[in-house]
C-alpha cells in the first residue's frame, strides 16, 4: 500500500512539474521573453495556452505563422485565444500590442499589421462578458488609415488599433484556474503595397497584470498600527 501511495505521489509531482514547465511565463517587466509560433491561415488562428504571471519575465511574444497562401491586404483574420491562469494571483488586466514587423510608410515607422477596432469579445470561463460593467478597453491607435473596399470582410475606413488592454472589474478578474478567452481580428495594412505572405509574421507582445503585493503589505501594516493604537487606548501594553 505504501508503495502505491509513493508512486502516486511521484506521478502527481511529475504532472505538476510538467504543467509548470509547459506554461508560458509573462509579465510587463523587462526580463527575458518567451517566444512562440502559432500556425494559422486566412480562416484564423487559435491559441490555447497555460499562462503564469512571472514578474521576472518579459511579455510573451507570439508570432503568427501564415501556413496558407497570401492573404489579401485589409482582409480580417480572426484570432481566438484560450488562456488559463495557472498562477496563484488573479489577473486584473490583460495587454496585447503588435510590435512588428515595421515599415516606414513614407511618413515614419509603423507596424504593417493592426487590430480591427471594436472586434474584441471577452469570455471568462466560457461566459461572454459585457464591456462596461464587466471590463473596460484601452487602446492605442495605429497611424495608418484603412480604406474599405469590401466592408463585409475587410477593415473599414478609419484608424484601427496598435494595442489593446482589457481591464476587468473586481468580480470578473481572472482568478487562478480561470480561463480567459479573447476574440479579435487582425489584418495586414494597405499602405505598404504588399499582401500577407507566409514569410511575413506579425509579432504580438502580451501579458497579464496582477495586484501589486505591496498593497496588501501596506494594508496589513496599517491594520497592525491601528490595532496597536486601540490596545494602548485600553491601557494594554
Rounded to 5°, angle at Cα 149 from 145 and 155 = 50
Distance between CA atoms of 99 and 120, rounded to whole angstroms? Answer: 19
The pLDDT-based confidence of 233 (bands split at 50, 70, 90) is: very low
How many Cα atoms sit within 13 Å of 158 on the Cβ side?
10
pLDDT digits (tens, 9 = 90+) for 17-41: 333 336 899 999 999 999 999 999 9
Which has the higher per-residue pLDDT, 110 or 205? 205
- Cα–chain center distance at 190: 26
- Residues above pLDDT 90, as percent of the chain: 63
Q: What is the mean pLDDT of the chain?
A: 82
Assigned C-alpha cell, 5: 501511495
Distance between CA atoms of 97 and 202, rounded to whole angstroms? Answer: 11
pLDDT at 236: 40
pLDDT at 219: 43
Mean pLDDT of 185-197: 86
Query: Residue 156: is its pLDDT beyond 70?
Result: yes
Which has the higher per-residue pLDDT, 2 or 164? 164
The pLDDT-based confidence of 45 (bands split at 50, 70, 90) is: very high
Distance between CA atoms of 99 and 62, rounded to whole angstroms? Answer: 10
Rounded to 5°, angle at Cα 183 from 180 and 188 = 135
pLDDT at 22: 64
pLDDT digits (tens, 9 = 90+) for 80-134: 999 999 999 999 999 999 999 998 877 778 899 999 998 999 999 999 999 999 9
Amino acid at each position: 500500500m505504501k508503495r502505491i501511495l509513493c508512486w502516486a505521489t511521484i506521478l502527481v509531482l511529475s504532472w505538476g512539474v510538467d504543467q509548470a514547465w509547459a506554461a508560458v511565463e509573462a509579465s510587463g517587466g523587462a526580463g527575458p521573453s518567451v517566444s512562440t509560433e502559432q500556425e494559422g491561415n486566412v480562416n484564423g488562428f487559435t491559441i490555447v495556452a497555460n499562462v503564469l504571471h512571472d514578474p521576472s519575465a518579459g511579455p510573451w511574444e507570439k508570432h503568427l505563422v501564415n501556413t496558407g497562401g497570401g492573404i489579401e491586404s485589409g482582409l480580417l483574420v480572426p484570432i481566438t485565444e484560450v488562456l488559463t491562469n495557472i498562477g496563484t494571483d488573479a489577473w486584473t488586466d490583460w495587454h496585447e500590442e503588435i510590435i512588428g514587423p515595421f515599415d516606414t510608410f513614407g511618413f515614419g515607422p509603423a507596424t504593417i499589421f493592426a487590430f480591427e477596432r471594436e472586434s474584441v469579445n471577452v469570455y471568462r470561463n466560457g461566459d461572454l462578458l459585457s464591456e462596461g460593467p464587466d471590463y473596460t478597453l484601452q487602446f492605442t491607435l495605429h497611424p495608418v488609415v484603412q480604406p474599405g473596399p469590401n466592408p463585409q470582410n475587410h477593415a473599414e475606413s478609419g484608424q484601427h488599433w496598435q494595442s489593446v488592454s482589457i481591464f476587468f472589474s473586481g468580480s470578473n478578474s481572472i482568478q487562478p484556474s480561470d480561463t480567459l478567452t479573447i476574440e479579435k481580428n487582425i489584418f495586414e495594412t494597405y499602405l505598404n503595397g504588399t499582401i500577407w505572405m507566409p514569410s511575413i509574421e506579425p509579432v504580438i507582445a502580451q501579458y497579464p497584470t496582477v495586484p501589486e503585493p505591496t498593497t496588501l503589505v501596506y494594508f496589513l501594516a496599517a491594520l497592525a498600527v491601528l490595532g496597536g493604537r486601540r490596545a494602548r487606548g485600553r491601557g494594554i501594553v
